[in-house]
Amino acid sequence: MFFLLLSYIPASAKTSPFIKYDVQVISGKVTDEKGLALPGVTVQVKGTRTGTVTDKNGYYSISVNDNNAILEFRFIGFVTKEEQVNGRGVVNISLIPDNNNLNEVVVVAYGVQKKVDLTGAVSQISGKELQDRPVANVSDALQGMIAGLNVTTNSGGGAPDANKTLNVRGFTGLNGSLAGPLVLVDGVETNINSINVNDIASISLLKDVASSAIYGSRAPNGVLLITTKEGKKNQAPELTYSDNFSFAQPLNLPVMSNSLVFANTYNEAAVNGGLAPIFPDDVLARIAAYINDPKHTPTTIVTPGTTTWSNYSYPYGNSNNDWYKIFFKSWVPNQQHNLSLTGGSDRVTYFVGVGTNDNVGLYNYFNDSYKRDNLRFNLTADINKYVSFSLRTTYSQENDNNPQTQGQNPIQGIYRTWPILALTDPNGGGDGLNFVTRYSQDGRLITRTDDSRINGEITIKPLPGWNIIGDYSYDYNTSNFSGSYFPYLFATTTSTQNTDGSISSVEKQNTFTNYWTYNVFTSYEKNINGHYFKILAGQQAEENTYSLLNGYNNFLYSNSLPSLALTSGPNPTTTDAGGYAWATARTFGKLDYNYKEKYLFQANAAYMGTSLFPQDSRYHLFSSFAAGWNISKEGFFKPLSKQIQNFKIRVSYGGTGDIASLLNAGNYYPSQSFLTTQPQSSTSWIFTPSSGGRQPYVSSPTNLVSPTLTWAKPSMLNIGADIDFLTDFNLTADWYRKNITDQFGGSTTPPATLGIAAPLVNVESSVTKGWEVTLGFSHKYGDFNVTARANISHYSGEVTQFNGNPAGLLSSPYAGEPIGAIWGYTTVGKFQSQQQIANAPSQSYFGGGGFLPGDIQYADLNHDGKITPGNSTVSNHGDLSIIGNTTPKFLYGFNSGVSWKGLSLSVFIQGQGRADIWDSNIFNLNGGLYFSEVTPKLADRWTPSNPNGYFPRIDLSNGPSKDMQIQSYYLQNTKYLRLKNVQLGYTLPNRITQKYHVSDVKIYTSVENLLTFSPVFAHQYVDPELMDSGDLLYPLQRTYSFGIQLNVK
């Protein structure tokens, strides 16, 4: 679509005189400013539909019937040039590169637009900027690249199959949700992480509602338009190969204290808590002996009177294991390979891309991996001068392979594993309570996802300026899951083959997603005496149908082949529960107007229906308006034009509808109610004990339904400016205010007597405000080419209406609450004496056996002589106050590159400003005996001899209730600055490589996540990005990579 529409950007409307002249053929060559041939340049006789394209050597020929005809030469990245023929037969032209990004063409909804004509908030980057990095998927590559596109690590952490979370401009609901944008690849909704980074030509982000409103209720949270590569006309076939080999190491892996420190710390915490020391002296002696001489000290001893090796109870193991080091490899290799073929004749262009991406996970003993293969084939053909056709097909396969961990998070498993636990007993047998023993013998979770898509588009151009376009896409996605579960064996003194007694099982699940969509739209554009109009109207519909088939049985015949056919369990289960379908239909229209690109105006409307809502409330009309003023085109601006080349201000306002929050929550039928059925296997009551007989059951209708349920309604006001100044600089700045009304919530909080939640209605509201600035720089100093781009963005939100919390409880949203606010106590410090405790306001509310020196003193904010949370309500919050906010103050990225001849160096920095996180895990001993860990950072704690320690006195029984209340002093500031990528590349001169039939050979090396600076490391080890999303997560990685790319002739 990009290229098709590009060809039809309006030329000047000057009409040709209707005087007949002899037809004359004009030919010539088009070169760049250095005299190198430019293939693919569009050459058009101005004011007519006559046009051609230069061949691979830059030559063209074209017929004109007017000696005074004007030829127009257009090529992306170069200033469009007009040349009067003046009777010449040969017209050679040299085009000048266009460094002025306002003339850049930007992909927008249903078309393209010159940046100078934009009235909305739209950012675009080229695919080139994302490539050559050892990232597994597009979301990884986008982090820090575009102002207002917030890319964050989620609970998947750095796992090989993890994706990052995308969000545009902050909160998408009052509960702090950060839903992602609609991602359209060549106009069709796509899972962004299933596509190959190397197939991308450009990415355009529609940030304001006015720019995305034409997509109606499907795009409340911004639109990411990804355009894939296409061939160019009259281009010789070009085969490009690239690969990337990398080595990843865990980044910011926590550290465990050695076993003696661990045991002594636990003992201290136990004694402080009024308990017996956990580890008596004989155990401590064995632990010390093991540390001094691990070779000659057993890892654990036999529990007296038994044949079992001791682990978590007296007499305990005595090893010294840092389980993080045991669970994770120090290095893993990854690789990517990409091959693409592009080319075109004067009527047909093609692009074929093949890529493979192989990620090996970090787990030791129980491997994990993710592999993705992509194939893309884009073809465009001009059938005649009125009709063109394009066909895009893609296929991708993802293979995800993980250890069976029975729903447990292995990282939490590490966190809670005591270092004294033996990895293997003195005979080399596996310990029975050790996660390595367990997971390494357990089954696998294997998913293969296949996605095939075909998209056909036909474009008809009956008259100059009039386009009719229709497209249809069909996507078929299947996933094939196989999960196996095996009992594991552990060792005792008498046998290494003791089973844990569990029963092997296998689960298979196939899912099928059918998605189709069509768009039919027509546009007409005309420029009359500087008044440019474009109107567009069309309709779209889509349907998504999901079904699944799941089978489960236990008692495998053999663990080596987990198949349902090879099970003997008496009660296999199969189900297709969970299938669903939803659909939307939409009619839309758009009007663009500008006067000499000086005054700009745009209006959009979409009339939208969806299957989610009751018949009478499912349609709604959404509209938006935008205006711009290119001040630099005014006469009065002329004196400043040396300093400021372009200056435009823009304003837009629009509304749209949101069902994404329902779809994301899996609520496909919010306006229907069901009796939930359960098979006998999910009941806990046994009706016939002799046979183990259970019975199925049915529950009452799940929910009350409101007949007026309809869309949530986000609207956004956007004010922005684009400035090009001092020749080399460009700046884009935007401010916005997003108001989401009619969010879904209970109509009221009913008394408990209702016995069911109030029906979902449209009642709640929230507001998000923010700004973004992008500053670019580009300059040539002789052979040095320097570019830089910095972006920074900020958002913050507030709940403006919430009905579900009549008591004003702080545990629930309330009107006026800043989204992300953290309520907590204010820390005064640590008590240093009993006297101080006696004189301080009473803290007996926290119970926990009274306070002692080393415990935390909280501030009596309301001066009532005691520390309490009041009623924990907004009106009575005692000594609680808002002590922080989880929302980052700002997010930023800085990209710069220097090139000199064949050498290039690029540096990419990314990070975020202050964000507060309450993470009780930093206290290490917060989870009692079995859910705590001891790290060297915990040494910095209060003891009588270390009264200024960071952490409070440790207390195994009462510490959490007394000292780990959410409070100001221990909020962690997860701001960070990350040297995200540094890359050094060298492109070999073509004169050397040409004899081997290759050209543009680039070799490069890069480091991803090289350095991270953050205050969070002062008191713990976890990466700030992981802390933001839950702490005990799969570690991120630092990756060293080497790559090559070349063209084959």
Partner 1 sequence: MGVITGLTFNSCKKNNLLNQVPPTQLTDAAYWHTTSDLQNYVNNMYNFADVFPHYQGYGQSGIYGVDVNSDNMVPSVPDVRLTGQATIPGNGTYANYTEIRDVNYFLANYSRVSASADLVAPFVGEAYFFRAVLYFNALQAVGGVPYITKVLNINDQAAINAPRLARNLLADSIISDLNKAIANLPTKANAQTQRLYKEYAEGMKARVCLYEGTWEKYHSGDVFGLSGQNGSTFLQEAADAANSVMTSNIFQLDNVGIPNGYYKLFNQTDYSSSKEVMFWAAFNQSEGIVNYWQDSYQLGSNGTYSGGLSKALVDDYLCVDGKPIAASPLYEGDDSLKQQFANRDPRLHQTVFSYGDTVISNVPGPNPITIYTYPGLLGTPVCTTGFDLKKGASTDFFQDSHHSVGSIDAVIYMRYAEILLTYAEAKAELGTLTQGDVDATINLLRDRVHMAHLNIGAITFDPNWQYPGLSPLINEVRRERRIELSCEGYRLNDVLRWAAAPSVIVGKQPLGAKVKQFLTVIPGLVVGTNVFVNPQGYIEPYQKQPIMANGYQFKINRDYLLPITQQETVVNPAIKQNPGW
**Rule CB under 8 A: which of 866-885 touch partner 1?**
871-873
Contact status: 957 vs partner 1 (CB under 8 A):
yes
Give the span between the Cα atoms of 388 and 404, in whole angstroms: 51
Residue list 822-851, contact with partner 1 (CB under 8 A): 847, 849-850
- Kind plus residue range of the DSSP H or E element containing 734: strand 729-746
Residue with smaller CB distance to partner 1, 359 or 801: 801
Token pair 């001893």: residue: 301
Q: Cβ of residue 411: shortest distance to partner 1, in angstroms?
A: 21
From edge to edge, which strands make up the β-sheet containing 81-84?
A: 51-53, 42-45, 70-74, 81-84
Binding-site member from 68, 406, 695, 834 for partner 1 (CB under 8 A): 695
Residue with smaller CB distance to partner 1, 565 or 698: 698
Give the span between the Cα atoms of 184 and 200, in whole angstroms: 12
Stretch that binds partner 1, among 185-193, 246-254, 582-590, 775-783 (CB under 8 A): 582-590
Q: What is the DSSP string of 450-496?
A: EEEEEEEEEEEEEETTEEEEEEEEEEEEEEEEEEEE---EE--SS-S
Binding-site member from 289, 302, 460, 541 for partner 1 (CB under 8 A): 541
Residue with smaller CB distance to partner 1, 155 or 303: 303
Q: Give the x-and-dash track for 600-639 against partner 1 (CB under 8 A).
A: -------x-xxx---x--xx--------------------
Are 623 and 659 contacting, i.e. CB atoms less than 8 angstroms apart? Answer: no
Residue list 421-440, contact with partner 1 (CB under 8 A): 432
Binding-site member from 508, 694, 789, 794 for partner 1 (CB under 8 A): 694
Residue with smaller CB distance to partner 1, 750 or 853: 750
Give the span between the Cα atoms of 452 and 462, in whole angstroms: 33
Residue with smaller CB distance to partner 1, 92 or 406: 406
Binding-site member from 21, 77, 314, 638 for partner 1 (CB under 8 A): 314
Binding-site member from 502, 527, 785, 993 for partner 1 (CB under 8 A): 502
Q: Cβ of residue 172: shortest distance to partner 1, in angstroms?
A: 24
Q: Cβ of residue 751: shortest distance to partner 1, in angstroms?
A: 4
Give the span between the Cα atoms of 647 and 162, in whole angstroms: 42
Residue list 797-816, contact with partner 1 (CB under 8 A): 806-807, 809, 811-812
Contact status: 777 vs partner 1 (CB under 8 A):
no
The token pair at 542 is: 């889509």
Q: Cβ of residue 696: shortest distance to partner 1, in angstroms?
A: 6
Residue with smaller CB distance to partner 1, 700 or 833: 700
- Kind plus residue range of the DSSP H or E element containing 167: strand 164-168
The token pair at 591 is: 């009007």
Residue list 388-407, contact with partner 1 (CB under 8 A): none
The token pair at 697 is: 């059951």
Stretch that binds partner 1, among 366-374, 398-406, 669-677, 832-840 (CB under 8 A): 669-677
Stretch that binds partner 1, among 341-349, 413-421, 579-587, 916-924 (CB under 8 A): 579-587
Binding-site member from 241, 668, 725, 1042 for partner 1 (CB under 8 A): 668
Residue with smaller CB distance to partner 1, 302 or 1044: 302
Residue with smaller CB distance to partner 1, 501 or 639: 501
Token pair 């960070």: residue: 976
Question: For 381, left (φ over 0), alpha (ψ -120 to 50), or beta?
Answer: beta
Residue list 704-733, contact with partner 1 (CB under 8 A): 704
Contact status: 305 vs partner 1 (CB under 8 A):
yes
Contact status: 303 vs partner 1 (CB under 8 A):
yes
Contact status: 931 vs partner 1 (CB under 8 A):
no
Contact status: 547 vs partner 1 (CB under 8 A):
yes
**Taking Cα atoms as reference points, which of 20, 19, 24, 76 lies closest to residue 45?**
24
Residue list 743-762, contact with partner 1 (CB under 8 A): 747-756, 758-759
Q: What is the DSSP string of 493-521?
A: SS-S-EE-----EEEEEEEEEEEEEEEEE
CA distance to 854, 920, 927, 954, 1018, per residue, from 959 (Å): 11, 11, 10, 6, 22
Residues 6+ apart with CB under 8 A from 1031: 919, 921, 1022
Q: Cβ of residue 556: shortest distance to partner 1, in angstroms?
A: 15
Contact status: 522 vs partner 1 (CB under 8 A):
yes
**Taking Cα atoms as reference points, which of 137, 162, 165, 163 lies closest to residue 151?**
165
Are 188 and 475 contacting, i.e. CB atoms less than 8 angstroms apart? Answer: yes
Residue with smaller CB distance to partner 1, 507 or 1025: 507
Contact status: 692 vs partner 1 (CB under 8 A):
yes
Give the span between the Cα atoms of 743 and 419, in whole angstroms: 49
The answer to whether the peptide bond before residue 315 is cis (omega within 30 degrees of 0) is yes
